[in-house]
Structure 1
């Protein structure tokens, strides 16, 4: 008598009663399926095509602007920094590498100290003057006086004029024989100074003209910001007895701090690069009395043909603007009130 031994294999699943072999297999499969089936996922090829399409759309939208910034902003700045280490006069076929000699000569030159002083005075006076005057005029326009619309248009008009036109206009006004300056000083029994031909007044002449040109832009910005200030705060302050100067000092000025912060950054950058008014009114003279750092770059490059020194001066101007902007941003993070 022989006994058949079955191999050691897993036991077959039991077949439910009353079901054939095929039906039993289907029932077994059904018992192993989870109760809650997951929704079908989007196929990975479709997802990849969508991502690729979004990336191409992003590149198509940002590409032209990014290319323009690289070609017209970043590349010239980097090329200028490279030229600051070379000696070149536009005539030699290739620039000659001189290392830091251009920076050494620039920082040890007596002219550089005078130019830097002129730049600081011109920038600070024009920026502070335009911001203070713009806030005062903006507050006046926001008080809903008669002919406010006409006054707003007249205030913004100087900003729309090109710098060359502003320079010619102020040349006439500063004329000691026929300009309005002669009439103004005659009210006090004095003679009008030679604004643009004497070293004592030339820097103040271009500063006044540039401040007047920028005043319209600052006025309109401040006027719009004052109109958007929350009226409930003013009503509450009025109930507490705050009026006039106290209300302006303790409420309006703090609420305008983001606007003044923006105007100070853009004003410093714009004033440090001012060129057209200086070119029309004084040409940086007499001597170097009205020469700023931006004018020095032009003078060294296109009048003295010293490209290395001009590039070094332009690099110094770039670094100063970057440092000032960084400091202003760090101070603004702590001092500027963005709550309204």
Structure 2
């Protein structure tokens, strides 16, 4: 029976495994090989060694895209994760929490194009809803999507709203995994709500926080849809992200080798940040024993 269950397990895993190999591993290997080639997507490939990588490091547009991506990450990660955690804690014990979860999760399953178009209207500097709301308080709202100082902030605001429900659901799962006996013991000892949050909720929620942080960092370095739909990388490349640079280099300028080199650099950056997080996590992630 055990062998039979194992066989069925492999049978059910096979489609997912084949998809992973066909649509992830093989393209990754092809992109790695292509990063050492000069190819326009149609003609013959020519091996040029590290020239594509050196070209990217000397390209000011690449550094501009990298800085915009890092700026977006800095804007998105702390606020997005904090709001998701606070919202999950607020919804964890209230009545009708299932209905609230549905409402907050609905944007997550909405297409990026639809979300981008809606927020283009919301953030319109002349007649957008947000600036109209700010005007009620005597605040003259900025040109969110056409001002180089505000465009990345705008994209970060959209992303925080868009992914809030996803991270919230993960935090809710983590909260429900914390045994109520810890809180009961703390109440007997006279602990306040803040003390219970500080000494019970935060430490026992740290594995969930670690997971959400890792996934959010990986996702933030791959931001593309929002900038593509809302600003096309503008104004003056102020929202020109690293993945946008990879897309434009490959499918607009048809420099596949340079695009693959940029993709490999992005892969290494994400890998380094992930490894650093795993290293640092040993100091603040506490697993319930």
Q: What TM-score, normalized to structure 1?
A: 0.78
- What's the C-alpha RMSD, in Å, of the aligned pairs? 2.4
Paired with 1:327 and 1:309, the residues of 2 have a C-alpha distance of: 27
Paired with 1:179 and 1:56, the residues of 2 have a C-alpha distance of: 57
**Could you list the runs of 5+ residues in structure 2 that have no partner in the other structure?**
none
What is the deviation of 1:230? 1.1
Paired with 1:251 and 1:261, the residues of 2 have a C-alpha distance of: 16
Paired with 2:15 and 2:175, the residues of 1 have a C-alpha distance of: 37
Change (3 A) 1:153 1:56: closer
What's the counterpart of residue 88 of structure 2? 138
What's the counterpart of residue 329 of structure 1? 278
Change (3 A) 1:250 1:57: closer
Change (3 A) 1:60 1:154: closer
Higher mean displacement: 293-302 or 241-250: 241-250
What's the counterpart of residue 213 of structure 1? 162
1:296 correspondence with 2:248: no
Paired with 1:123 and 1:76, the residues of 2 have a C-alpha distance of: 26
Q: Deviations over 1:241-260 (max 9, x none)?
A: 22232321222111100100
Change (3 A) 1:237 1:58: closer
Greater relative contact order: 1 or 2 (C-alpha under 8 angstroms, separation 6 or more)? 2
- Greater CA radius of gyration, 1 or 2? 1
Larger fraction in helix: 2
- Residue pairs, 1:112-261, within 5 angstroms: 112-144=62-94, 146-261=95-210
- Residue pairs, 1:301-312, within 5 angstroms: 301-312=250-261
Paired with 2:206 and 2:274, the residues of 1 have a C-alpha distance of: 16
Paired with 1:142 and 1:100, the residues of 2 have a C-alpha distance of: 52
What is the deviation of 1:140? 0.7
Question: How many residues in Structure 1 have an aligned counterpart in Structure 2?
Answer: 289
1:66 correspondence with 2:20: no
What is the deviation of 1:141? 0.7
Q: 1:256 is paired with a residue of what secondary structure?
A: helix
C-alpha contact 2:69 2:242 (8 A) present in aligned 1: yes
**Could you list the runs of 5+ residues in structure 1 that have no partner in the other structure?**
1-49
Q: Deviations over 1:95-120 (max 9, x none)?
A: 22221111111112222222111111
